[in-house]
Structures are given as structure tokens and as C-alpha cells.
Amino acid sequence: KFLIPDSASGLPVGPWTALRQGYLATGSDGEVRLRDAGGVLTLTVKSGAGLVREEREIALTAAQFDALWPLTEGRRIEKRRAVVAEGEQRYEVDVFEGVLSGLMVAEVEFQGVDEARAFQPPTWFGAEVTDDARYSNASLARAGTLPAEATGR
């Protein structure tokens, strides 16, 4: 995960998908998240932290999502996402909205740790925050504010 500075040139411009996420549970062992990605409703369980994580996702009906969503009160984020392809690499670019407005990040997934460590980010990427727990979506949702230095990228 990388911050994208406001001054980034070459930043992709969509198409964007609106996302809202709410967290049912977060902790050192993982998290349980609800997501509405442009009407695609899912429940996701993640374990691990930093560079290596495991994820399981299941589709939800609107009724299931609506029944669970109120349980995420106080632990929500809103953002827009664009998927950018450069060569064989794909980047998910998130632009946060609401109380987290101003934060932009790019996430990159790899097949393994060696591939991740060999990665050379494009010039429009800023600081890497993969291992900075303050920038996990769950932490941002719980805190409801940007980390102090995020606005000074």
C-alpha cells in the first residue's frame, strides 16, 4: 500500500466505482467487513497483517447487507476506486471521501513475498505504508480521522 501525493502526475482518471465499507469486527487476529462496491454486496473476513494477508469473501443479498450494516456504525469509510493496469501490473487506486477526504492510496497485490519485495513503484506513488497499521482501512474506519502526517504528504 502506497500513499499518493497531491502533486502526483500521471494519476489515472477512472472509471471509478463508489465503495462504502463498514467493519463488524476488527482486532489483532483480523477483521470482518461489509462492502457495497457499486451495488455488489459482500462480507469479507481477513486475517494477517502487513505484506501477507488471507482473505475470504462471500456475496450477500441486499436484505442480508441491510440487516448487518447498522452494526458497523462508527466504523465506516467511503471512497472511490479505479483499477489501473500498467503492463502486467494492476493497481487499485482509492480516493477517500467524507472525514477521510484528501487521502489517496494505491494498493498492489502480488503472487508472493519475493515478487512484492522486487516491486519498483511507478513515479506517481508516494511513501509505502504497507506495514503502517494506521493506514489499514479498518484502522481508518475506527479512527474516523486521517493520520497526522497524511495531510502533509
Q: Mind listing the pLDDT tens digit for each residue in 11-60? A: 666 689 999 999 999 988 889 999 999 999 999 998 876 666 788 999 99
- Is 26 in contact with 140 (CB distance < 8 Å)? no
Residue 94 has pLDDT above 50, yes or no: yes
The one catalytic residue among 2, 23, 125, 135: 23
Closest to 23 (Cα-Cα) out of 141, 114, 153, 146: 141
Higher pLDDT, 146 or 79: 79
Question: Which are the contacts of 26, defined by CB distance < 8 A and separation ≥ 6?
Answer: 32, 75, 138, 139, 141, 142
Helix (H, G, I), strand (E, B) or coil at 123: coil
What does the pLDDT read at residue 153?
A: 42
Q: Is 23 a catalytic residue?
A: yes
Check whether the bond before 12 is cis (ω within 30° of 0): no
Residue 79 has pLDDT above 90, yes or no: yes
Query: What span, in angstroms and rounded, lies between the C-alpha atoms of 93 and 108?
Result: 9
What does the pLDDT read at residue 78?
A: 96
Instruction: Give pTM, 2 decimals.
Output: 0.84
Around 75, how many Cα atoms within 13 Å sit in the side-chain half-sphere?
A: 20
Own/partner pairs, 33-39, CB within 8 angstroms, 24+ separation: 33/137, 33/138, 34/60, 34/65, 34/68, 34/69, 34/72, 36/65, 37/81
